[in-house]
A and B are shown apart, each in its own frame.
Chain A
């Protein structure tokens, strides 16, 4: 009896009920991992040390369904789709003025502490105002020259979620 149950569990007979179950599981997994919880690999060092090159994570798309991104949230930004995405940190909102002086971040003239930063930064960026409907995003690794770091403001609608951890 036990033997039969075990065999049935590991090598089930291809009954219609079993096939339908497999089909439903496959469909659910496909929809879940394609639209709700998208798996991705991190490529690049712009978010180090928070997220390192080669790490694996998921983009949780329901993160901002009922709320808006908060300052210092790490968000996932889409390009034309979700095959390649950006991982950045929100530092300013629409209407705010962003400036870097000697590596320190200033929002509306006020210096902001960024506890997640670990590497030295000496960036200088003249003040600029975040446009309507946009967020200002930046990576955590600011040890490289400012010209080599991909950051700036983007439309809120491009933010599609946040990393799961």
Chain B
């Protein structure tokens, strides 16, 4: 009787482990999620930063993007193909405009559709306070294409999906 109990409990533990294994992201998906996590960490800031940190972070943000990278967004109007240098300069301008920033990603739906290419649909939330004290809290759905270049997943295309169209 005791043996059956242990067997049953073992079965439950095994079942839970398999479920966790299935839910937990594997291999490439895990690497892609890490890139988003890194992007979020680099964009976020708690307080004013000196120009050295600003430049360093902007360069690190730039290194997450393919060169060139296509952006499709209406607000702010940024549509077209942008070089890494241009993305770094956007990052510098945006970071210096805000005293506090937090970028969070939710509901990442990752699809690996061909060798070295991934399509990720997600919800992003940008919360911040400008240097003039104005607060922002923007939620957008993004569709990103990432390309694996030299073992790194880089943003190849970022499009803001229009959920509500006036």
Contacts and interface: CB of A to CB of B under 8 A. Distances in A.
Interface stretch (B25-33, B36-44, B57-65, B158-166): B158-166
Task: Identify which of B9, B108, B137, B164 gathers the most chain A CB atoms within 10 Å of its CB.
Answer: B164
Given A16-B9, A80-B106, A80-B141, A151 B123 contact: no
A86 B163 contact: yes
B101 interface: no
Interface in B143-166: 163-166
A96 to B, nearest CB: 15
Contacts of A16: 5, 8-9
Interface in A95-140: 125, 128, 137
Contact of A79 (B8, B123, B165): B123
A153 B9 contact: no
A81 B109 contact: yes
B55 interface: no
Contacts of B121: 80
Given A79-B123, A80-B122, A80-B123, A23 B12 contact: yes
A109 to B, nearest CB: 19
Q: Is the interface of B mostly helix, strand, loop or mixed?
A: strand
Contact of A150 (B107, B108, B141, B164): B164
B14 interface: no
Q: Is the interface of A mostly helix, strand, loop or mixed?
A: mixed
A19 B8 CA distance: 11
A83 B12 contact: no
Nearest to A77: B163
A69 interface: no
A158 interface: yes
Nearest to A23: B12
Contacts, number: 58
A91 to B, nearest CB: 12
Contact of A154 (B5, B125, B137, B165): B165
A81 B164 contact: no
Contact of B163 (A23, A43, A158): A158
B18 interface: no
Contact of B123 (A83, A128, A158): A83
Nearest to B107: A81
A81 B142 CA distance: 11
A19 B103 CA distance: 41
Contacts of B140: 79
A154 B164 contact: yes
Interface in A136-165: 137, 150-154, 158
B112 interface: no
Interface of B: 5, 8-9, 12, 106-109, 121-123, 125, 137, 139-142, 163-166
5 contacts: A80-B106, A83-B107, A84-B123, A84-B139, A152-B166
Going nearest first, the 8 A-B pairs with the smallest beta carbon separation are A81-B107, A152-B164, A83-B106, A79-B123, A152-B166, A80-B107, A80-B123, A79-B141
